Amino acid sequence: MLLVVTGKKSVRSLVAFITYWSAIKGAVKRITGLYQTISSTLNVEFAYDRRKPLIKDLNLVAEPGKTVAVVGTTGSGKSTLVKLLFRLYDPCEGSIAIDGQDVRHVRLSGLRRAIGIVPQNPTLFNGTIRENIRYARLDATDEQIVDFMEFQDGYESKVGEGGVRLSGGEVQRLAIARVLLENPKIVALDEATSAVDTLTEAEIQKALQRLGSGRTMFVIAHRLSTIVRAHKILVVREGKIVESGTHGELLAKGGEYSQLWTQ
Ligand SMILES: Nc1ncnc2c1ncn2[C@@H]1O[C@H](COP(=O)(O)OP(=O)(O)OP(=O)(O)O)[C@@H](O)[C@H]1O
């Protein structure tokens, strides 16, 4: 800049330099992007129907490698938070960012590669467990697929139409295995509500711990064990985060969370 002011360089070369520098910086951002810190501006708002705002004053930070559990009554807006993150919808006000970059400025294909989703009811087709897991990454080797966890009847057993031959716990573990195979940096998990026995519960928790290791995980949580293990719990009511903290902190506070807990 000084060289331009003193007349030693032309404005044209300064413009060329800035363009060149922006291109390099852009490229570096794509290469080094950790895709791990999720944050929002203070004023994020969202409405499906403009007359009825749903998400209000959303203030959210999820730190790299940490598990954030979202809890709240039905219809409080938990799934909508995940939809905003994944850009199925954009906020009406404010913005959500990953590593400080507004998700609206990240290429959609890149964003969806960076975030893995474990849905409550995964779509399963009538093939083997191995084939259903491979669906997440068609070029995966057999070794890569069996690396994650064990299934009682083995990887070659058929799951049946829509997974009817699997137990609720196996369906959840299969959905987790798919995302482990995808290996994204961020995971959004909509935890199934189905009750499972203690042994299955322990297996699901083991799979979840592996999933959360080194990843930022955002869980719409229903299981006690998941909530207790989370690094941070967000309590959502009518689209607002009304409390946040660890399980111990929130219980000690004696507010909304402790009421949810005793219900
Ligand atoms: N696509 C949509 N169009 C219009 N309204 C919607 C849409 N999706 C959700 N809603 C409404 O927004 C509100 C919040 O829904 P959301 O699914 O985010 O809640 P939730 O806390 O995840 O509920 P649950 O625990 O039952 O899954 C609900 O009143 C719901 O009916």
CATH number for the domain harbouring residue 64 = 3.40.50.300
Mean pLDDT over 53-57 rounds to 87
Write down the pLDDT at residue 24: 45
How far apart are alpha carbons 152 and 71 in whole angstroms?
Answer: 31
170 with 151: CB under 8 angstroms? yes
Q: Does residue 199 share a domain with residue 150?
A: yes
Residues present in the chain in total: 263
Same domain, 14 and 104: no
* Residue 109 lies in domain: 35-262
Please check the confidence at residue 170 and state whether its pLDDT lies above 80: yes
Are residues 104 and 175 in contact, defined by beta-carbon separation less than 8 angstroms? no
Q: Are residues 12 and 40 in the same domain?
A: no
- Distance (angstroms) between ligand 1 centre and the Cα of 239 equals 10
Tokens of residue 30, six digits = 């794509």
Pocket test for ligand 1, best of 80, 88, 92 (most atoms within 8 A of CB): 80
Per the prediction, the chain carries an average pLDDT of 84
Q: Verify that 140 and 12 share a domain, yes or no.
A: no
Q: How far is the CA of 205 from the centre of ligand 1 (A)?
A: 27
Q: What pLDDT sits at residue 1? A: 42
In a shared domain, residues 144 and 61: yes
Say yes or no: CB of residue 239 within 6 Å of ligand 1: no
Same domain membership, residue 148 and residue 53: yes
Question: Can you point out the beta strands (E) in the chain?
Answer: 38-40, 44-46, 55-58, 61-62, 67-71, 96-98, 101-102, 115-118, 186-190, 216-220, 232-237, 240-245
Q: Ligand 1, closest atom to CA 83?
A: 18
Residue nearest to atom 23 of ligand 1 (CA): 75
Same domain, 125 and 244: yes
Task: Determine if ligand 1 sits within 6 Å of the CB of residue 76.
Answer: yes
Same-domain check for residues 124 and 10? no
Instruction: Based on the fold, state whether residues 175 and 224 are members of the same structural domain.
Output: yes
In ligand 1, the atom with minimum distance to the C-alpha of 80 is 18
Task: Please tell me the predicted confidence (pLDDT) of residue 10.
Answer: 67
Q: For residue 170, what are the CA distances in angstroms to 39, 102, 107, 151?
A: 33, 36, 34, 7
Whole-number pLDDT of residue 32: 40
Q: Does residue 43 have a pLDDT over 60?
A: yes
pLDDT > 70: what percent of the chain? 86
Q: Which residue has the higher pLDDT, 59 or 10?
A: 59
Residue 76: which residues within 8 A CB-CB, separation 6 or more? 236, 237, 238, 239
**What ipTM score was computed for the predicted complex, to two decimals?**
0.96
Number of domains comprising the chain: 2
pLDDT at residue 108, as a whole number: 85
169 lies in the same domain as 94: yes
Q: Is the CB of 89 under 6 A from ligand 1?
A: no
Query: Whole-angstrom Cα distance, residue 217 to residue 82?
Result: 11
The pTM (predicted TM-score) of the whole model is 0.81
pLDDT for residue 163 is more than 50: yes
Do residue 58 and residue 24 come from a single domain?
no
Residue 21 CB–ligand 1 contact under 6 Å: no
